[in-house]
């Protein structure tokens, strides 16, 4: 395959005429920070999503753990990553790998103990690394004490979950679910409880009953969980699956989606989820959580929320007087780019514009390329684009978000059905599991070329290590003269400069072949970022675009792949 070249150029102290036409932040110069250092840590750093099962196994049982993450704290320092977000490590029967929580205040023994967690916090904080906690409010495990008591109709807990009577009984006397809602993991979202003689709602697995946020007691319980972890010293929350939080009170059937192309009504994608997704009440609950955070010093909250409509997402920022979160994750690079051919300068620019033009005044953007639910960036867009896409998310104005392993360009592994662990894959059976299984992007971190990629000393890891680890690993890339990890580290350093922290963005060129943008900040060097999205050799005149540029410049970073024609 041919490779791409990505120039990254600095113009010494050049002042570029601002073409800013919009009044939005980042379209124009900011003068509100006399000390020129970000007050909020979450604006400064890179946020890295760490999948604890796969990061580092400290005790040789084949599963990554909290001590393992602590042992690797220097890795984050070396990379320049200042915030880590751990996927859930709480007590769980692990039907959905920690997203089914049976105790919101206890660490699962697979991952370690509360003491391990506290030690990790201490260690990370001593190295100026913030720890973001994964808060999973949409449901609990069916093994949670609240659910067990709810099934028994315990007066305190009976309305903690979403219970409904059957619509009726069929001719053989079996109860019929209250409506046609389906689970994200397929089939009815309602499960019958023989004991209580009612159905409960589960938007995910049967073992993950949905909490009832219309019950003020539930809201209070979850607020207490948030306070518990803030008191422990976590620096913030990434809140899981916000879109599923509250359901419409009508409990009406959902209509089929127009043009979904899906004909199987047991599948989630068949429906238009007008009664189960992003209901207006959700925002009220989320705002309540943010208020709790505000009563602590220096904490952060981001939301996992999916919606096609940018306006729906933007509501989750709130406004200057009524914040809802620090930012909802920006998944548009994920949702609007389905493969290599979608990655063009024009498309990338339109996605950046979509966010910046719709973001409420005074808010802070963020950029996400991948996470534990999405195929690896290399596998979606091509291994040659890794450096370019890391440049994009780390050098645009705002917080850059990375999934562990993207700094070395890890790729999806091929996992057999027998080795598959993810219920989202297993539920579809051996013929279709690859369509939804999230295991390929969750394989162990590739540290070096020793057994199990240096991840674990076990004879078998919880999912197989990607076979390419012998050549693709941290050690090899640190030793190479040029590599993805080296580019990543350089980018991490560069993004701390004033120009990237506070500067404006202007697009110099956006064509099918190239995206070039300029970051500038008065009194600081101006930078030009040029990303080659072409499949062929292309000549581009960056000075002929919309931004006036000086005649000479110096290359400060370029991609590790591709040709090296001069400086
Ligand atoms: C700038 O930083 C100094 C030292 O930290 C602090 O005392 C001062 O209040 C800051 N000024 C502003 C305007 O934030
Ligand atoms: C009644 O419902 C049960 C459980 O869903 C199902 O197994 C059975 O086939 C249904 N019977 C009829 C006659 O629809
Ligand atoms: C901010 O949001 C609150 C709550 O939605 C609303 O009442 C208020 O009018 C908004 N303020 C502005 C300036 O838009
Ligand atoms: C852009 O990438 C293509 C595809 O790999 C390559 O052929 C071309 O030489 C690159 N152009 C530049 C200017 O690096
Ligand atoms: C978007 C989404 O589904 N997020 C999470 C919500 O909870 C389920 C079940 O626990 C997880 O599997 C998802 O990753
Ligand atoms: Ca372990
Ligand atoms: Ca719900």
Q: How confident is the model at residue 17 (pLDDT cuts 50, 70, 90)?
A: very low
Query: Does some domain include residue 370?
Result: yes
Contact 247, 201 (CB under 8 A): yes
Please report which residue ranges of 72-215 form alpha helices under DSSP H.
73-79, 114-126, 145-151
DSSP state for residue 281 in the 8-state scheme: H
- Residue 244 CB partners (closer than 8 Å, separation 6+): 138, 184, 203, 210, 276, 277
Tokens standing for 46? 């890179």
| CA of 90 relative to ligand 2 center, distance in Å | 38
Query: Does some domain include residue 480?
Result: no
Give tens-digit pLDDT for 285-319. Answer: 999 999 999 999 999 999 998 888 999 999 999 98
Give tens-digit pLDDT for 70-81. Answer: 999 999 999 999
pLDDT at 183 over 70: yes
Residue 369 CA, chain-centre distance (Å), reads 8
Q: pLDDT above 90 covers what percent of the chain?
A: 76
Largest CA distance in the chain: 82
Backbone angles phi, psi at 64, to 5 degrees: -60, 155
Q: What atom in ligand 3 is closest to the CA of residue 321?
A: 1
Place of tokens 């449901």: 139
The closest residue, in CA terms, to atom 2 on ligand 3 is 322
Average pLDDT for 360-388:
93
pLDDT, residue 302, reads 96
Lowest mean pLDDT among 233-237, 462-466, 516-520: 516-520
Tokens standing for 440? 């390929």
Q: Best-predicted range by mean pLDDT among 109-113, 239-243, 550-554? A: 109-113
Q: How confident is the model at residue 25 (pLDDT cuts 50, 70, 90)?
A: very low
Tokens standing for 230? 């803030």
- Residue 540 CB partners (closer than 8 Å, separation 6+): 509, 511, 513, 514, 516, 530
Contact 506, 523 (CB under 8 A): no
DSSP output for 526-552: EEEEEEE--SS-----GGGSSS---S-
Contact 211, 139 (CB under 8 A): yes
pLDDT, residue 564, reads 59
pLDDT at 348 over 70: yes
Q: Is the CB of 35 under 6 A from ligand 1?
A: yes
Q: How confident is the model at residue 35 (pLDDT cuts 50, 70, 90)?
A: low
Query: Does some domain include residue 37?
Result: no
**Distance of alpha carbon 528 from alpha carbon 503, whole angstroms:** 12
Catalogue the E-assigned strands of 26-129: 46-50, 83-86, 90-91, 103-107
The closest residue, in CA terms, to atom 1 on ligand 5 is 241
**Distance of alpha carbon 483 from alpha carbon 408, whole angstroms:** 8
**Distance of alpha carbon 472 from alpha carbon 475, whole angstroms:** 9
| C-alpha atoms less than 13 angstroms from C-alpha of 470 in its C-beta half-sphere | 1
**Distance of alpha carbon 212 from alpha carbon 296, whole angstroms:** 27
Average pLDDT for 544-553:
79
**Distance of alpha carbon 258 from alpha carbon 125, whole angstroms:** 50
pLDDT, residue 535, reads 82
Average pLDDT, the chain: 90
Partners of 131 in the β-ladder: 84
DSSP state for residue 295 in the 8-state scheme: T
| CA of 476 relative to ligand 4 center, distance in Å | 25
Q: What atom in ligand 4 is closest to the CA of residue 539?
A: 13
Average pLDDT for 333-358:
95
Query: Does some domain include residue 518?
Result: no
pLDDT at 258 over 60: yes
The 3-class SS string of 325-346 reads: CCEECCCHHHHCCCCHHHCCHH
pLDDT at 10 over 90: no
Task: Give me the CATH number covering residue 326.
Answer: 3.20.20.80
Average pLDDT for 348-352:
97
Please report which residue ranges of 23-89 form alpha helices under DSSP H.
41-44, 66-71, 73-79
Tokens standing for 190? 């309602």
pLDDT, residue 335, reads 93
| CA of 35 relative to ligand 1 center, distance in Å | 6
pLDDT, residue 20, reads 30
pLDDT, residue 536, reads 83
Q: Is the CB of 216 under 6 A from ligand 1?
A: no
Measured CA to CA in angstroms, residue 256 lies from 181, 202, 203, 275, 517 at distances of 11, 20, 17, 12, 42
| C-alpha atoms less than 13 angstroms from C-alpha of 367 in its C-beta half-sphere | 22
Average pLDDT for 373-380:
94
Give tens-digit pLDDT for 111-158. Answer: 999 999 999 999 999 999 999 999 999 899 999 999 999 999 999 999
Counting every residue, how long is the chain?
567
CB-defined site of ligand 4, < 6 Å: 2-5, 532, 534-538, 562
Which of 35, 36, 37, 39 most suits a substitution to test ligand 1, by most atoms within 8 Å of the C-beta?
A: 35
| CA of 534 relative to ligand 4 center, distance in Å | 6
Backbone angles phi, psi at 25, to 5 degrees: -55, 150
pLDDT, residue 462, reads 97
Higher pLDDT, 532 or 12: 532
Query: Does some domain include residue 235?
Result: yes
Partners of 190 in the β-ladder: 201
DSSP state for residue 359 in the 8-state scheme: S
Which contiguous run of DSSP H or E holds residue 358?
helix 345-358
CB-defined site of ligand 2, < 6 Å: 170-172, 174
For residues 453, 455, 461, 467, the Cα torsion angle rounded to the nearest 10 degrees is -20
**Distance of alpha carbon 364 from alpha carbon 356, whole angstroms:** 9
**Distance of alpha carbon 146 from alpha carbon 38, whole angstroms:** 42
| CA of 203 relative to ligand 7 center, distance in Å | 7
Q: Smallest Cα–Cα separation from 127: which of 72, 48, 63, 74?
A: 74
Residue 403 CA, chain-centre distance (Å), reads 7
| CA of 405 relative to ligand 6 center, distance in Å | 19
Place of tokens 């514009």: 353
Query: Does some domain include residue 157?
Result: no
Which ligand lies nearest the alpha carbon of 318?
3
Sheet holding 190-193, edge to edge: 163-164, 198-201, 190-193
Measured CA to CA in angstroms, residue 230 lies from 52, 235, 487 at distances of 20, 7, 35
Q: Best-predicted range by mean pLDDT among 54-63, 361-370, 415-424, 545-554? A: 54-63
Query: Does some domain include residue 33?
Result: no
Query: Does some domain include residue 529?
Result: no
Higher pLDDT, 32 or 493: 493
Which contiguous run of DSSP H or E holds residue 402?
strand 399-403
The closest residue, in CA terms, to atom 6 on ligand 5 is 241
The closest residue, in CA terms, to atom 7 on ligand 2 is 174
pLDDT, residue 139, reads 94
Contact 459, 378 (CB under 8 A): no
Q: How confident is the model at residue 562 (pLDDT cuts 50, 70, 90)?
A: low
For residues 431, 435, 438, 444, the Cα torsion angle rounded to the nearest 10 degrees is 70
- Which residue range forms the structural domain that includes residue 363? 45-137+218-243+277-466
Q: How many structural domains are present in the chain?
A: 1
Q: What atom in ligand 2 is closest to the CA of residue 171?
A: 13
pLDDT, residue 12, reads 28
Q: Is the CB of 319 under 6 A from ligand 3?
A: yes
Q: Smallest Cα–Cα separation from 237: which of 162, 329, 143?
A: 329
Average pLDDT for 221-232:
97
Give tens-digit pLDDT for 314-343. Answer: 999 998 889 999 999 999 999 999 999 999
Evaluate the CA torsion angle 301, 347, 405, 563 in order and state its sign. Answer: negative
Q: How confident is the model at residue 6 (pLDDT cuts 50, 70, 90)?
A: very low
pLDDT at 519 over 60: yes
């Amino acid at each position: 395959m041919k490779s791409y070249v990505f120039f990254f150029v600095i113009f010494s102290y050049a002042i570029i005429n601002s073409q800013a036409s919009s009044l939005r932040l980042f379209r124009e110069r900011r003068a509100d920070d006399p000390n020129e250092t970000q007050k909020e840590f979450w604006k400064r750093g890179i946020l890295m999503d760490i999948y604890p099962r796969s990061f580092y196994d400290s005790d040789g049982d084949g599963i990554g753990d909290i001590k393992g993450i602590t042992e690797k704290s220097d890795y984050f320092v070396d990379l320049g990553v200042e915030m880590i977000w751990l996927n859930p490590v709480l007590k769980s029967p692990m039907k959905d790998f920690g997203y089914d929580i049976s105790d919101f205040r206890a660490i699962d023994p697979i991952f370690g103990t509360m003491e391990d967690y506290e030690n990790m916090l201490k260690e990370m904080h001593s190295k100026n690394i913030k720890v973001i906690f994964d808060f999973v409010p949409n449901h609990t495990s069916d093994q949670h004490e609240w659910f067990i008591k709810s099934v028994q109709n315990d007066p305190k807990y009976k309305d903690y979950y979403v219970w409904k009577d059957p619509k009726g009984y069929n001719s053989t006397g079996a109860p019929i679910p209250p409506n046609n809602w389906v689970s994200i993991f397929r089939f009815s979202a309602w499960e019958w409880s023989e004991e209580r003689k009612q159905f409960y709602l589960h938007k995910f697995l049967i073992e993950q009953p949905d909490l009832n946020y219309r019950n003020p007691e539930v809201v209070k319980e979850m607020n207490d969980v948030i306070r518990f972890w803030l008191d422990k010293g976590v620096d913030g929350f990434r809140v899981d699956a916000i879109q599923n939080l509250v359901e419409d009170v009508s409990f009406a059937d959902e209509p089929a989606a127009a043009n979904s192309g899906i004909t199987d009504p047991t599948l989630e994608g068949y429906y238009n989820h007008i009664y189960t997704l992003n209901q207006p009440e959700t925002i009220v609950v989320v705002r309540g959580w943010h208020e709790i955070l505000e009563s602590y010093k220096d904490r952060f909250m981001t939301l996992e929320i999916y919606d096609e409509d940018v306006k729906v997402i933007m509501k989750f920022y709130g406004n200057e007087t009524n914040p809802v979160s620090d930012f909802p994750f920006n998944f548009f690079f994920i949702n609007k780019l389905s493969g290599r051919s979608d990655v063009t300068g024009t498309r990338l620019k339109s996605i950046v514009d979509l966010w910046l033009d719709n973001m409420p005044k005074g808010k802070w953007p963020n950029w996400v390329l991948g996470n534990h639910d999405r195929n690896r960036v290399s596998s979606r867009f091509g291994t040659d684009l890794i450096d370019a896409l890391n440049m994009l998310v780390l050098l645009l104005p705002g917080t850059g978000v990375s999934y562990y392993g993207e700094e070395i360009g890890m790729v999806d592994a091929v996992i057999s059905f027998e080795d598959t662990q993810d219920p989202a894959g297993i539920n579809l059976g051996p013929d279709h599991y690859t369509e939804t299984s999230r295991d390929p992007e969750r394989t162990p971190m590739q540290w070096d070329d020793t057994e199990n990629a240096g991840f674990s000393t076990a004879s078998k890891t919880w999912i197989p290590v990607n076979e390419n680890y012998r050549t693709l690993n941290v050690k090899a890339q640190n030793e190479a003269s040029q590599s993805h990890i080296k580019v990543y580290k350089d980018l991490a350093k560069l993004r701390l400069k004033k120009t990237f922290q506070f500067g404006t963005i202007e697009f110099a060129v956006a064509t099918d072949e190239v995206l070039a943008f300029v970051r500038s900040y008065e009194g600081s060097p101006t930078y030009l970022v040029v990303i080659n999205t072409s499949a062929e050799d292309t000549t581009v005149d960056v000075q002929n675009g919309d931004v006036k540029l000086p005649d000479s410049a110096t290359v400060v970073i370029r991609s590790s792949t591709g040709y090296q024609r001069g400086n």
